[in-house]
Structure 1
Amino acid sequence: DLHPPVISLALLPGSGVFMAVLVQMTITGKSFIGGNMEIALAANLTASSVLGQDGAGTPRFSSRNCHITLVSVKTNLPSSMLPKVMSKFLDSTLQKVLPGLLCPAVDAVLNLVNAKFTTLTSEIPLGTAGTLQYALLNPPVTNETFIELDLKTILHQKEGKEADLPTDQPSLGSLPPKRDAATQLILSANFLSAELSVLQASFNLNISNNMVLGLPPLLTTMLGALIPEISRVLPPSQPVVIEMQEAKAPVVTITREKSFVQLFSTAEFWVSPSDSAPESLFVLDVHSNLEAQFAVAEEKLRLSLALQSVSRMALASSSLGMFDELPLKGVLADILHEAYVPSINRVLRGGIPLPDLLGITCQRVNI
């Protein structure tokens, strides 16, 4: 009959985990003098384990040593029936038997923990855009009060191509102090940029007239009022479609005060006459700055973007000849604010999955 153990754990700097377990059990059986015999014993089990990594980049515990020390042995036999020679024989027998009985339990517990570690390196789908996978970049580092895991991220686009991530690691010298009983997770701006690059194909959007309330009418009449060259070559009141695409990977910048995302887009304007095929009018290069807000929910990092400014707008090509595109800037900013950025935020609602480490859930999160 095993009693619930009393377990103490301590981190071994540069190694792994030290475990001390007070084991209490009662052994019953037939007595050599007749009747039932009961032996109650208490033993200290001490074991240490090394935390390393396997070939797949998964954390893994392996036991180093296991020792059993008897604390007490009591029986229900009268002391006169248990001479000292018999007591020593009982103690020595238990010292030989208990390690083979209890030490395998340490390996079994470590194997259960190792099985839970495998979820860390599982591929996680990012909707239909691709997959994300975490793995150890370097072996774990154990300190007196915490374990540090240096993770790498592997991002694949839906075609299977791996997204490029800078190999140089950002400096971690200015991190906030580690708090007791808390997990601190650091995500680099480079990783967030790569994550958005995998999702950027999902940002593409065709914006047409009456698609979003609050937008100016997307008609050749509106364009002609801003660009005289258009009114001279196109009939009024023809519907216009704006095709938004990302030309380059987004860039995330993180500061102490705010975080920003830079988008490098193209806005291609099409006219869609009812009696003929759509015709491309011109293409604008558009660089925009957006403020990023972060939140954590359901073990995912959620991003929400808000347009701050259109930092650059330039005519890239035109079937109408050269013209001054500057009058379009205000209208385009309204279109980005009312239609394009909300569409991107809907894509980002899926969130970025955080590392699944032993099933730890994110509660009372500070970002």
Structure 2
Amino acid sequence: MAVLIRMTIAGKSFIGGNLEITVASNLTANNKLLKDALGTPKFSSENCHFSLVSVKTNLPSSMLPKVLNKFLDNTLQKMLPGLLCPAVDAVLDLVNAKLSAMTSEISLGTAGTLQYALLNQPTTNETFIQLDLKTVLHQKEGDEIDLPTDELPLTSLPPKKEAATQLILSANFLSAELQVMQESFSLDITDNMVLGLPPLVTSMLGTVIPEIAGALPPSQPLVIAMREAKPPLVTITPEAGFVHFFNTAEFLVSPSGSAPESLFVLDVHSDLKARFVVKEEKLCISLVLDSLAEMALASSSIGTFDVLPLKGILANIIHVAYMPSINEALQGGIPLPNLLGIKYQQAEISMSENALVLNVPVAEA
């Protein structure tokens, strides 16, 4: 740190009246950026040096003999370092207080909690500081999500823009965030949720798949229970971002006044196209069904059959009923790291291989 300091010291003159001493000085100090036990970035200073550049007073030069000038210089040389060097520490303490907010535990509503911390010691160069962050995610029961350690090579990412802070969010991190929210993606789909589509009744199934028509109870209402079979997976390329859902879709007969009975269960792999925006300092994700990549019969109480005729109907049902439920669960967004009060609202979002890139313009003073 190299700072040119200009200051005015005012007081009473030894000859009466007001005395003003205008001082220009150079202050230099070495600052270290480390991480503490909690994984918080922390600045410290050492080797603070102070040197006078000039000393001027509002008194005529004839009234300050050389011996008094020398005395004044010596006094300032001894006094000012004790005043100004602690000021460096005070400023760094304020910065550290802001950085400490980064490691605060953040609630993810009913899903769990998120906490950011430093993964490695910070690295610095002439133009920017690089912080490699790790995230600690806990489900509501307190179980920690096992998150792979990401170390994305900088050469694979877009170059950092001038006068901008660049935040890189890996696809693995986003996948883990969705894993915490996994329970929110369960939904029982009933007939009144799929307006404009064929009624969810057993006769509809018999029409689509004639070979099981004789095994179905006639005109009974259906429920499709969508459940996550394994955690969602986020993939990102420079062209697009996708969230892959791996569900079971259980078709149940739900007669009035009776317990539901399972007819069959499908394993369903859905590809959902993702759109990313920043709202209220959180990363928000909205999804739209791109395709049903795979669908297979997992179990059946009415015999085996070809599931392909169901693919179009199930895709429509997922689009109309399931996707709004998922997007509602995602509305809360993902809290972004609190770094010195950076405002992410103006971030320019782009995609790279396996990562989301946020370029945040540095606010002008």
TM-score by length of 1: 0.90
One-letter identity of the residue aligned with 1:290: L
CA-CA distance at 1:229 after TM superposition: 5.2
Aligned to 2:10: 27
Q: 1:270 to 1:20 in 2, by over 3 A?
A: same
2:168 aligned with 1:183: no
Segments ≥4 residues shifted beyond 6 Å: none
Instruction: Describe the superposition over 1:284-341 as per-residue Cα deviations: whole angstroms up to 9, x where unpaired.
Output: 1111112112222222222121212112111111222323322211111111111112
Which runs of structure 2 are paired with 1:331-350 in the superposition (5 Å)? 331-350=313-332
Give the % identical residues. Answer: 70
Structure 1: runs of 5 or more not aligned? 1-17
Change (3 A) 1:327 1:35: closer
> Partner letter of residue 73 of structure 2?
D
- 1:9-32 superposed Cα distances (whole Å, 9 cap, x missing partner): xxxxxxxxx231323112212x33
AA paired with 2:219?
Answer: S
Which amino acid counterpart does residue 19 of structure 1 have in structure 2?
A
Comparing 165-174 with 85-94, greater Cα deviation is found at: 165-174
Corresponding residue of 1:256: 238
User: Structure 1: how far apart are the matches of 2:138 and 2:196?
Assistant: 37
**Post-superposition offset of 1:238:** 1.4
Secondary structure of 1:39's match? Answer: strand
**Distance (whole Å) between structure 1 residues aligned to residue 58 and residue 311 of structure 2:** 93
Would you say 1:129 and 2:107 are equivalent positions? Answer: no
RMSD: 1.7
Q: Quote the residue 1:38 is aligned against.
A: 20
Contact between 1:214 and 1:338, CA under 8 Å: does it hold in 2?
Answer: no
2:58 is aligned to 76
Check conservation: 2:11, 2:18, Cα contact below 8 A. yes
Higher relative contact order (CA 8 A, sep 6+): 2
Report the counterpart of residue 355 of structure 2 in structure 1. none
Which residue in 2 is equivalent to 1:157? 139
Q: Does the 8 A contact of 1:302 with 1:348 survive in 2?
A: yes
Structure 2 unaligned blocks of 5 or more = 351-365
1:361 shift after superposition: 0.4
Q: Does the C-alpha gap of structure 1 residues 270 and 113 become closer, same or farther in structure 2, counting only changes over 3 Å?
A: same
Q: Distance in 1 between matches of 2:16 and 2:166?
A: 61
Partners of 1:191 and 1:276 in 2: CA distance: 43
Shift of 1:276: 1.8
Q: Which amino acid aligns with 1:312?
A: E
Q: Which residue of 1 aligns with 2:354?
A: none
SS in 1 for 2:349: coil
Structure 1: distance between partners of 2:33 and 2:145: 30
The structure 1 residue matched to 2:47, chosen from 61, 65, 74, is 65
Partner of 1:324: 306
Go from structure 1 to structure 2 and tell me whether the alpha carbon gap of 1:229 and 1:107 turns closer, same or farther (over 3 Å shift): same
Is the 1:310–1:333 contact (alpha carbons within 8 Å) kept by the matching residues of 2? yes
Tell me what 1:105 maps to: 87
Cα distance in 1 for partners of 2:321, 2:257 equals 27
* SS of aligned partner of 1:80: helix
Q: Distance in 2 between matches of 1:188 and 1:113?
A: 27
Distance in 1, matches of 2:329 and 2:265, equals 24
Q: How far is the alpha carbon of 1:237 from its aligned partner?
A: 2.3
Give the AA of the match of 2:9. Answer: T
Specify whether residues 228 and 145 from structure 1 end up closer, same or farther in structure 2 by C-alpha distance, changes over 3 A only.
same
Secondary structure of the corresponding residue to residue 89 of structure 2: helix
Within a 5 Å distance, the mapping from 1:1-367 to structure 2 comes to 18-29=1-12, 31-167=13-149, 169-228=151-210, 230-362=212-344, 363-367=346-350
C-alpha change, 1:167 and 1:360, in structure 2 (3 Å) is closer
Judge which range, 260-269 or 72-81, deviates more: 72-81
Equivalent pair of 2:6/2:22 in contact (CA under 8 Å): no
1:212-268 CA distances to partner (integer Å, 9 max, x unpaired)?
322321111111212335432343221111110110011111112112221110001
CA distance in 2, matches of 1:305, 1:32: 77
* 1:100-144 deviation per Cα after TM superposition (whole angstroms, max 9, x unaligned): 111111110000000000111111112211111111100111011
For residue 168 of structure 1, report the CA deviation from its aligned partner. 5.2
SS at 2:154's partner residue?
A: coil
Aligned counterparts of 2:279 and 2:286: Cα–Cα separation in 1? 13
C-alpha deviation, 1:98, in angstroms: 0.5
Distance 2:15 2:305 in 1: 111
What does residue 10 of structure 1 align with? none
Q: Contact between 1:296 and 1:365, CA under 8 Å: does it hold in 2? A: no
